[in-house]
Amino acid sequence: MSGEKETASLYELIGAIYERHRDDIKIAPSWLAGFAMAEIGASRDDNPRLYLAAHLQFRQIARSFCAKKHDPVESETGDLFEGTLQQRYPRPPSPDDDEPIYILRAQMSREDVRFNAARMRKVSVSLAKHAEALENWDYQRNEESAA
């Protein structure tokens, strides 16, 4: 197996585990990683360092999976911004959280909604400013080359 295929298979495993837990009220990447470790038969007792390394890798894959699927700020797709609501959104971070926790939209508190709406507005303003700066740079570049 090549590295890309192996990584893809791990990503698919996280996706399959996510689908089995899709109706859970909350989902955290570390939980998905723990389920993945159990599914592949990894044991802390066999080699604690190897277990930790694999769990950290699964957690990173799960964070990426969840962010792409449920975080409009991190998503690579544009359709999240076209009026379609998602099934889950990240909760505001608390001092006890070391990673995002994604909650079902129907279970969101008003604070959860306000947190996500503010994040989306902040990112949209930042992206609009960046787009304008890029267009201004292009305009100036073309003006200079025409002169």
C-alpha to C-alpha distance for 114 and 101, rounded to whole angstroms: 16
Q: 30 and 99 in contact (C-beta within 8 Å)?
A: yes
Q: Which helix (H) or strand (E) holds 103?
A: strand 102-104
Note the pLDDT tens digit of each residue in 41-86: 998 888 899 999 999 999 999 998 988 887 666 655 555 445 678 8
pLDDT by residue (tens digit) across 4-37? 888 789 999 999 999 999 899 999 999 999 999 9
d(CA 71, CA 74): 5
pLDDT higher than 90, residue 105? yes
In this prediction the pTM is 0.64
Closest CA to 33 of 3, 4, 13: 13
Q: Residue 104: its pLDDT value, please? A: 93
Provide the residue ranges of all domains of the chain, joining segments of one domain with +: 3-107
Q: Is the pLDDT of residue 135 over 80?
A: yes
Least confident window among 32-46, 48-62, 86-100, 126-140: 86-100
